[in-house]
């Protein structure tokens, strides 16, 4: 096993997803006297509410063990190809009438909304600048566990060389799989967080949809309905679905179909959203060119009422 001691001038950064693996990684680092210099959480704006709710728990734990607090970073969209302006990955998809890139077999959603904001922060962080000036590399700890699923993810990045970062996977070095991570979190007296991911992530398992709020489920229906006319090679967030043979879990290509079939939302509501949302967003886009953010539309009673009118200029 590689030594986990780091040279003093080499900053130690933790990429914190606020999920099980990240929590266990921080617990294990504390056990081993590894104090991070920086802990970053990249907020896509579309995380599950339970993940946001876990942030104060994380901050209290970090303070109790003398670790620095989590710094929340965000991708700030500036150059909009389409309007209205968006502030989250979900709004980005609704505005552009598309789905997160993972649905198409790519990973640019994660790169753009998760990795890039963290790298942008570190690129202006003085300890990193000092380290790089001396020819060193910042150590970035990533919470891939030692179970079969994360082993596949790790296989894709193993051996990747970056002139600015040395990537470390402490959970793998400690041989902690998912079960061991959960055991260690409980042993540290912490609540076990939910799986951290955007609530509409194409990697979501069917049964995980049952844990989402009605607002999140309506958003998923809206996203798939809006993207539907532009999709040619896939049906929806679950691509072309899965028949459930060869050990896979059966699921349709669209989460919307699962939501309807399982009664997670009333069928009439799903149908109403599916038929009305694309047209209403287009009307809203035309009305607010460059103006009101999409959030104003989305907050119109959870997509159930007519969208608000564009902001009128103040009369003085
Ligand atoms: S959680 Fe899923 S949808 Fe969100 S950025 Fe990561 S891969 Fe993309």
CA of residue 286 relative to chain centroid, distance: 29
Backbone phi, psi, residue 63, to 5°: -65, -35
Decide: helix, strand or coil at residue 136: coil
Rounded to whole angstroms, how far apart are CA atoms 314 and 259?
43
What is the reported pTM?
0.88
CA of 313 to the centre of ligand 1 (A): 37
Instruction: Please choose from 19, 91, 100, 115 the residue to mutate so as to test ligand 1's pocket, defined by most ligand atoms within 8 A of CB.
Output: 100
CA of 103 to the centre of ligand 1 (A): 9
Instruction: Please choose from 203, 224, 227 the residue to mutate so as to test ligand 1's pocket, defined by most ligand atoms within 8 A of CB.
Output: 203
CA of 150 to the centre of ligand 1 (A): 15
Residue whose CA is closest, atom 4 of ligand 1? Answer: 198
Is residue 228 packed enough to be buried (19+ CB in 10 Å), middle (13-18) or exposed (0-12)? middle
Query: Which atom of ligand 1 is the closest one to the Cα of 112?
Result: 5
CA of 163 to the centre of ligand 1 (A): 26
pLDDT tens per residue, range 107-140: 999 999 999 999 999 999 999 999 999 999 999 9
Cα–Cα distances in Å, from 34 out to 27, 102, 125, 170?
Answer: 10, 33, 20, 10
Rounded to whole angstroms, how far apart are CA atoms 239 and 207?
17
pLDDT tens per residue, range 89-104: 999 999 899 999 999 9
The arithmetic mean of pLDDT across residues 63-73, rounded, is 98
Radius of gyration of the chain (CA): 21
User: Any residues with Cβ below 6 Å from ligand 1, and which?
Assistant: 44, 89, 100, 102, 109-110, 113-114, 197-198, 201, 203
Cα–Cα distances in Å, from 231 out to 36, 107, 245, 258, 268?
Answer: 43, 18, 25, 18, 24
pLDDT at residue 287, rounded to an integer: 78
- With contact defined as beta carbons under 8 Å apart, do 140 and 13 qualify? yes
Rounded to whole angstroms, how far apart are CA atoms 53 and 203?
22
* Residue carrying the six token digits 């287009």: 282
Q: Structural domains in the chain?
A: 12-187 (3.40.50.620), 206-301 (no CATH)
pLDDT at residue 5, rounded to an integer: 52
Q: What angle do CA 234, 237, 292 make, to 5 degrees?
A: 110
Backbone phi, psi, residue 166, to 5°: -110, 120
Percent of the chain clearing pLDDT 70 (strictly above): 90
**Per-residue pLDDT band at 310 (split at 50, 70, 90):** very low
């Amino acid at each position: 096993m590689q030594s986990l001691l780091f040279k003093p001038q080499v900053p130690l950064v933790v990429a914190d997803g606020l999920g099980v693996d990240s929590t266990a990684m921080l617990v294990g680092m504390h056990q081993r006297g590894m104090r991070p210099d920086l802990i970053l959480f990249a907020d896509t704006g579309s995380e599950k509410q339970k993940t946001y709710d876990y942030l104060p728990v994380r901050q209290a734990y970090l303070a109790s063990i003398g670790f620095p607090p989590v710094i929340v970073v965000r991708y700030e969209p500036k150059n909009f190809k389409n309007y209205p302006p968006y502030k989250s990955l979900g709004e980005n998809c609704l505005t552009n009438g598309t789905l997160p890139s993972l649905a198409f077999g790519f990973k640019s959603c994660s790169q753009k909304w998760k990795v890039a904001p963290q790298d942008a922060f570190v690129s202006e962080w003085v300890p990193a600048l000092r380290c790089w000036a001396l020819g060193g590399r910042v150590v970035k700890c990533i919470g891939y566990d030692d179970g079969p699923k994360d082993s596949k993810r790790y296989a894709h990045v193993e051996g990747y060389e970056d002139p600015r970062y040395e990537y470390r996977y402490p959970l793998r070095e400690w041989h902690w799989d998912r079960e061991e991570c959960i055991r260690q979190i409980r042993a540290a007296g912490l609540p076990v967080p939910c799986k951290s991911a955007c609530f509409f992530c194409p990697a979501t398992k069917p049964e995980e949809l049952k844990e989402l709020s009605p607002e999140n489920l309506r958003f998923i229906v809206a996203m798939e309905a809006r993207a539907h006319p532009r999709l040619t090679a896939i049906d929806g967030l679950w691509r072309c679905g899965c028949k459930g043979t060869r050990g896979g879990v059966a699921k349709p290509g669209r989460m919307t179909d699962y939501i309807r079939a399982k009664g997670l939302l009333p069928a009439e509501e799903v149908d109403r959203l599916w038929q009305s949302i694309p047209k209403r967003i287009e009307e809203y886009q035309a009305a607010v060119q460059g103006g009101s953010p999409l959030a104003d539309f989305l907050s119109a009673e959870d997509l159930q009422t007519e969208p608000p009118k564009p902001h009128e200029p103040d009369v003085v």
